[in-house]
Amino acid sequence: MKQIFSKTSTMKSKDRSRLVSQTGGSVPVLRPLFGFFLVVALVLGGCSDSREVLLIYSPHGPDILGDYERKFEALYPEVDVQCLDMGSQEVYERIRGERNNPQAGIWWGGPSSMFIQAAGEGLLAPYEPSWADQIDAAYRDPEHRWYGTYLSPLAIVFNTMARSKDTVPQTWDALLEPEWHKRIAVRDPLPSGTMRTFICAMMLRAPTEDEGIAWLKRFDEATADYLANPQLLYDHLKRNEERISVWLLADIALQRERNDYPLDTVVPPETPVITEGIAIVEGAPNREWAERFYEFVTTTEALAHQAHAYAKVPARKDVDPAALPEWMVEQSIEAMDIDWLEFAENERARIERWKMEVYGAP
């Protein structure tokens, strides 16, 4: 596959970058520039008819984005909803880069730690949704600049054609056992909010940050492949039955139930549970339509549909359990205790240290 690169123990940081380019894995490098031209094309394209353009930035993927784009436009035919699918970190960086000329109306999806950082930089506009009293304070911004939509635990992923739940690692530390050396494949962490959360959480669960870095070095040594985006990861795991990975439980359930991928998960004890957010961009064009879309995708009915169709666990406490999939109601998760404000404040520094000492190290 062109978008995959496999590491070797002797690969230098600069060699790794060159290998990505040589193997055609240029998507991570060119994606921001491509996205810029795509945004321009979308905005200019919206001028070709009388509809008002509402641009959504989201890491949720084409299935759910396309679904709710069609549903919203069917209800409001005077609006042209256009979704740009990219990693959470890419969304954050794009909104920051466009702060003097905002293009998007909504940021839909991504870890709360990134929303906390964006809110602190003045990138998100206050908006109190109609259901604000139906969500715990831990899952929203006290100044209403973002609200949680889903609760997404991290899990260990495996191919059911080769393995069963009792034959794969049951804990995070078990990933470092010799049996799994060079059998791990993960999403490229730098553009991914999910993987950045995993990296920082593994630092936090260690007695000291130095010990967390040591754990991540061993994990990096055990990792055979880094994939440029989630779809490449799913395809890679499907074709390479011996590989295991780390990703969101909900996304893997979606690929299994909706797209027939032979993938399943084990949720280790003390797993990070990501609160995925939604927010209106500060200075958003067509603010009224942004608010309507925000409300549209977060009703109890919409959340129940997203739970069944896309395996999304709702953060709202007023969603009737009877309206949710049985597996979701019965799922028991032992969540890692994380101070998300501290997490957000120190995420960049931790990722930079990991990048220098682990990912880019000789």
Give the pLDDT mean for 46-64. Answer: 86
* Residue 119 shares a structural domain with residue 33: yes
Q: Is the pLDDT of residue 173 over 70?
A: yes
Tally of CB atoms within 10 A around 340: 18
Identify the CATH number of the domain in which residue 217 sits: 3.40.190.10
Are residues 114 and 250 part of one domain?
A: no
Q: Which amino acid, one-letter code, is at 74?
A: A
Asked if residue 146 belongs to a domain, the reply is yes
Q: Is the pLDDT of residue 227 over 80?
A: yes
In this predicted structure, the answer to whether residue 30 has a pLDDT above a threshold of 60 is: no
Comparison of pLDDT for 38 and 111, the residue scoring more: 111
In a shared domain, residues 122 and 67: yes
Name the average pLDDT for the chain.
89
Q: Quick check: 60 pLDDT over 70? A: yes
Asked whether the predicted pLDDT for residue 161 surpasses 70, the reply is yes
Please state which of the ranges 34-43, 80-89, 156-165, 248-257 shows the lowest mean pLDDT: 34-43
Residue 136 CB burial class (10 angstroms; 0-12, 13-18, ≥19): exposed
User: What secondary structure letter does DSSP report for 340?
Assistant: H
81 and 144 within one domain: yes
How confident is the model at residue 34, as a pLDDT?
A: 46
**Residue 21 pLDDT more than 80?**
no
**Above 50 in pLDDT, residue 285?**
yes
List the structure tokens of 155. Answer: 């899990």
Residues 190, 193, 198, 200, CA torsion sign: positive
31, two tokens? 């994606």
Helices (H), the chain: 13-22, 27-45, 62-75, 88-97, 112-120, 193-205, 209-222, 230-239, 249-259, 287-296, 300-310, 326-330, 340-354
Pairing of strands 52-58, 106-111: parallel
- Say whether pLDDT at 179 is over 90: yes
Residue 93, domain member (yes or no): yes
Q: What is the pLDDT of residue 6?
A: 38
In a domain? residue 331: no
- Domain range for residue 54? 29-150+275-322
The answer, yes or no, to whether residue 288 has pLDDT greater than 50, is yes
What mean pLDDT comes out for the span 64-90? Answer: 97
pLDDT at 177 exceeding the cut of 90 = yes
Does 123 share its domain with 65?
A: yes
pLDDT for the residue 44: 52
- 235 and 351 share a domain? yes
Q: Which of 173, 138, 148 is nearest to 270 (CA)?
A: 173
Are 98 and 221 in a shared domain? no
Q: Name the least confident of 42-51, 127-136, 229-238, 328-337.
A: 42-51
Q: Name residue 314's amino acid.
A: P
